[in-house]
Structure 1
Amino acid sequence: MLELSVKNETSRLRAVVLGTAQSNGPTPKVEECYDPKSIEHVLAGTYPKEADMILEMEAVAKIFEKYNVTVYRPEVIKDCNQIFSRDIAFVIEDKIIRANILPNREAEVMAIKHVWDQVEKEKRIILPEECHVEGGDVMPWNDYIFIGTYSGEDYPDIITARTNMDAVIAIQELFPNKIVKSFELRKSNTNAKENALHLDCCFQPIGKDKAILHKNGFLIEREYEWLVDYFGEENIFEITKDEMYQMYSNVFSISEDVIISEKNFTRLNKWLREKGFTVEEVPYAEIAKQEGLLRCSTMPLIRD
């Protein structure tokens, strides 16, 4: 059996699900895309190639190997994009919660059945149908669970709105001893620079007390200010609109002092090193074209 344990974003990682780019399928049509950034690249003829994305993901797998992390991969489904394992399920404490995601991504959930089945039955949670949630919006942080959401009346029309208030309430009920704090995110179906697809596209805690943050990703200024107060201004790396678009906040922590980051994130990587982090750089710019990066393609199962 898998003894799950995830209390925060940065404790020492022991086991993880890493997505796969194998048999990723042909370049999608515009109407098959789930986010504005993918659409942009389909139209420009720069949509990432499977071979390039496989190489990028293997670079991450090698780093996990270096740090003795047990890595699970989804079963490969022919012609299916299975890169973003964070979307399909997530772990809080000792429970795995299946994400209620876009209906046409159901198959991706089945592809990690071999992981799901190793968890004790009562610790496998499937939320009620009306609860929409994806793992990119959910961040356990010790006493808190931070959740990105969108509650505008146009929610049904916004394909980039992935987590609703029903899910926020359901997660609060599952973890009554935690403080669930939700954040309204800025959404756009058409402009990738104005779209925070998930909470981890505009915010991520790192180390013990630091965070990467992008103000414009938040619809309500005081919610953004709350995070600034909580982490302290001197502990925050504020990213620009362009850096958010490049997915600067979507790095991934192996421990409190080791972070996997994209090799082109020069400003961020320099800051991290100045703050004493070990930065493991990988090429991930092709995968980033689909509005997801390192955190999106990893789903931690066990952290010490």
Structure 2
Amino acid sequence: MEKINLHVNNETSRLRSVILGTAKSNGPVPDLVDAYDPKSREHIIAGTYPKNEDMVREMEAVAAVFEKYDVKVFRPEQIEDCNQIFTRDIGFVIDNVFVKANILPDREEEIEAIQYVIDLINTDNVVRPPEEVHIEGGDVMLYNDHIFVGTYRGEDYADYIIARTNVQGVEWLEKTFPNKKVVSFNLRKDNHDPYNNALHLDCCFQPVGDGKCIIHRNGFLQEEEYQYLIDFFGSENCFEISQEEMYYMNSNIFSIAPDVVVSEKNFTRLNTWLRSHGITVEEVPYAEISKQEGLLRCSTLPLIRD
């Protein structure tokens, strides 16, 4: 197979190659003690945890959109009874560097399942941060010469299974990518209440289109950090989502190009706004997958954007 020349420096440029997760063998409904996030916990308790076949159908709808736009799609090798949907957690690309994330230890085999793709990348361009550095792709948002990164700075960081990127992660990005301006945001964390929990930065913010963004104020613990983004993009370019819309993950759509996005079909208000700004919205069903507190951006790992 030919080598992959990585190139990703923002969230919206024309997508050419991506790793899309798989739901083919997600395994049984997890025990409550094994729930990684408050939304999965909520659905385990309610008996509404998503079924494998529904999630497979949702992911195939996304794969079909990628095919329509001539995007090269890699899928993880299948591991029996393992949730392999959220590829964004396990790695991410900055410019031409593939970063292997230090994720929750029991998810390590998910990285092994995409190793065949990583093997197509020049080894000099694959890095793994030291052990004390926690960082996941959902917290890393590229905006050309900026890297926006979600973190949790509280001293009780270790008490939150939903705190995925630590202060050392932010410092590592600054050191490893000195040509970028790294701006970090302290996110609201709650182990039990999905309405008050921003699992990753892309759960409460994402650039979209040309110089626009989707944002949820309550996801940020510090008002001035939220305000930084409003000022950066200009308030007229920011689509403010409600707490309810944040819960359903409206900020977690995925851009194929500045004028094409993949979005959940129930995001009526957002999709209308996107279309009003000349953006083609490819609507897919993704409500079942969203029950695990992840959506379209979470289940994609872009390798090449123009």
The TM-score bracket by the shorter chain reads over 0.9
Distance in structure 2 (CA, Å) of the matches to 1:118 and 1:252:
24
Instruction: Give how far 1:121 is off.
Output: 0.8
The aligned amino acid for 1:146 is F
Instruction: Give how far 1:78 is off.
Output: 0.2
Instruction: Give how far 1:33 is off.
Output: 0.7
1:258 aligns with 2:230: no
Distance in structure 1 (CA, Å) of the matches to 2:117 and 2:152:
30
The aligned amino acid for 1:55 is R
Instruction: Give how far 1:208 is off.
Output: 1.7
Aligned to 2:133: 131
Instruction: Give how far 1:164 is off.
Output: 0.5
Pairs within 5 Å for 1:228-239: 228-239=230-241
Aligned to 2:113: 111
Distance in structure 2 (CA, Å) of the matches to 1:76 and 1:23:
7
Instruction: Give how far 1:174 is off.
Output: 1.1
1:87 aligns with 2:66: no
1:165 aligns with 2:167: yes
Instruction: Give how far 1:207 is off.
Output: 1.1
Aligned to 1:200: 202
Structure 1 SS opposite 2:70? coil
Aligned to 2:48: 46
The aligned amino acid for 1:181 is V
Structure 2 SS opposite 1:211? strand
Distance in structure 1 (CA, Å) of the matches to 2:273 and 2:129:
39
Aligned to 1:218: 220
Distance in structure 2 (CA, Å) of the matches to 1:293 and 1:24:
16
Structure 2 SS opposite 1:40? helix
Aligned to 2:152: 150
The aligned amino acid for 2:293 is E
Structure 1 SS opposite 2:257? coil
Distance in structure 2 (CA, Å) of the matches to 1:132 and 1:103:
11
In the alignment, structure 2 segments of 5+ residues that lack a partner are: none
Aligned to 1:247: 249
The aligned amino acid for 2:123 is K
Distance in structure 2 (CA, Å) of the matches to 1:253 and 1:172:
26
Distance in structure 1 (CA, Å) of the matches to 2:277 and 2:45:
40
Aligned to 1:74: 76
Q: Work out the percentage of aligned pairs sharing the same amino acid.
A: 63
Pairs within 5 Å for 1:13-32: 13-32=15-34
Distance in structure 2 (CA, Å) of the matches to 1:240 and 1:218:
13
| RMSD, aligned CA | 0.4
1:104-141 Cα shifts (integer Å, max 9, x gaps): 10010100001111111111000000000110000111
Structure 1 SS opposite 2:63? helix
1:245-264 Cα shifts (integer Å, max 9, x gaps): 00000000000000000000
Aligned residues between the structures: 304
* TM-score computed with the length of structure 2 as normaliser: 0.99
Structure 2 SS opposite 1:300? strand
Give the ranges of 4+ consecutive aligned residues of structure 1 lying more than 6 Å apart after TM superposition: none
Distance in structure 2 (CA, Å) of the matches to 1:4 and 1:31:
38
Structure 1 SS opposite 2:184? strand
Distance in structure 1 (CA, Å) of the matches to 2:100 and 2:195:
29
Distance in structure 1 (CA, Å) of the matches to 2:192 and 2:45:
13
Instruction: Give how far 1:172 is off.
Output: 1.1
Instruction: Give how far 1:173 is off.
Output: 1.0
The aligned amino acid for 1:61 is A
Aligned to 1:287: 289
The aligned amino acid for 1:103 is P
Instruction: Give how far 1:46 is off.
Output: 0.2
The aligned amino acid for 2:243 is K
The aligned amino acid for 2:17 is A
Instruction: Give how far 1:242 is off.
Output: 0.5
Instruction: Give how far 1:217 is off.
Output: 0.1
Instruction: Give how far 1:11 is off.
Output: 0.3
Distance in structure 1 (CA, Å) of the matches to 2:269 and 2:153:
34
Instruction: Give how far 1:272 is off.
Output: 0.5
Between 1:165-174 and 1:85-94, the stretch displaced more is 165-174
